[in-house]
Amino acid sequence: MAEKSIQWFKFASPARFYDLTGRLVWGFGILAAVLFVVGLYMGFVLAPPDYQQGNSYRIIFIHVPSAWMAMFLYVVMAIYAAVGLIWRIKTAEIMAKAIAPTGALMAFLALWTGAVWGKPTWGAFWVWDARLTSSLILFFMYLGFIALHAAIEDRQRAANASAVLALVGIINVPIIYFSVHWWNTLHQGATIKATSAPSMAAIMFFTVIVMVFAYWMYSIAAVLARARLELLEREKHAAWVSERLNLPRTKETPHA
């Protein structure tokens, strides 16, 4: 048992993490590109128009995966932040910090595509209903997390402070998810539910699923690439960095 936990922590060692993720970034990036091409072809060519909205419904192939990723990435970010806060694992702190910009991008995409779709469909770009408002708060939580990291010079204190912010904000995620269920909202309820068959045609559903996988692969690749850079930056004086980048040995005293 003790040996097993040591093995797990090995993956958290910066050098091991750097080596392992180097190949993963490429793998996930290529998968993302392939899935995006397939998903967008399915969405724009194979899927039929909707019986009421015509072609404007096609925005869901971008909107729904973005919104899901924005919520999911927030949960992952908060978990990494908590692990960093409690167990002081540097790689976890770096991962939390690396997820935030991708999460913010996803939240922005969900809001933006929703507004563009809302104008022709609902008749308004924006309404202050519970689903839209809580999604806007999610976007601001990401921005706050990024800003707090940037505002505090000391890395450890920055990581701790933003971890607390991330953990407080996690309350918002179930509120977003259940908002259309708990309150009357202009935003419609969930089309794809865990408990029943999706209320959409099969080809539309499969397109959403392909796009969701594309978003997953892209997010993993982007986050890992960002985490690797952050790791190099933090450990620039460590021996493993000079070894891997073929740098000449610096004469500076190693930094803790």
Partner 1 sequence: MKQRTKRLVAVLVGLGGVSLAVALTLNAFRDNLVFFFSPSQVLAQEAPLDRAFRIGGLVEDGSVQREGIRVSFNVTDTAAVVPVVFDGILPDLFREGQGVVAVGRLLEGGVFHANQVLAKHDETYMPPEAAEAIKQAQREQARVMPPEEL
Binding segment (CB under 8 A) for partner 1, from list 4-12, 50-58, 216-224, 245-253:
50-58
Give the type of residue at 140. Answer: F
Residue 44 tokens, joined = 């724009």
List all residues 6 or more positions away from 3 whose beta carbon is below 8 Å from its beta carbon: none
Q: Residue 55 interacts with partner 1 (CB under 8 A)?
A: no
Could you tell me which of 166, 168, 167, 179 has the C-alpha nearest to residue 133?
179
Dihedral (Cα; 75, 108, 231, 243), 10-degree rounding: 130
Binding segment (CB under 8 A) for partner 1, from list 114-122, 135-143, 149-157, 228-236:
114-122
| Touching partner 1, residues 171-190 (CB under 8 A) | 171, 175, 183-186, 188-190
Among 31, 170, 209, 238, binds partner 1 (CB under 8 A): 170
Among 9, 22, 49, 237, binds partner 1 (CB under 8 A): 49
| Touching partner 1, residues 196-235 (CB under 8 A) | 199-201, 204
| DSSP helix/strand/coil, 82 | helix
Among 36, 72, 108, 122, binds partner 1 (CB under 8 A): 122
Could you tell me which of 166, 125, 129, 160 has the C-alpha nearest to residue 144?
166
In whole angstroms, the minimum distance from the beta carbon of 76 to partner 1 comes to 16
Q: Name which of 136 and 232 has its Cβ closer to partner 1.
A: 136
Dihedral (Cα; 81, 83, 87, 93), 10-degree rounding: -40
Backbone angles phi, psi at 188, to 5 degrees: -70, 165
State the residues that interact with partner 1 by CB under 8 A.
48-53, 57, 60, 82, 85-88, 120-124, 127-130, 164, 167-168, 170-171, 175, 183-186, 188-191, 199-201, 204
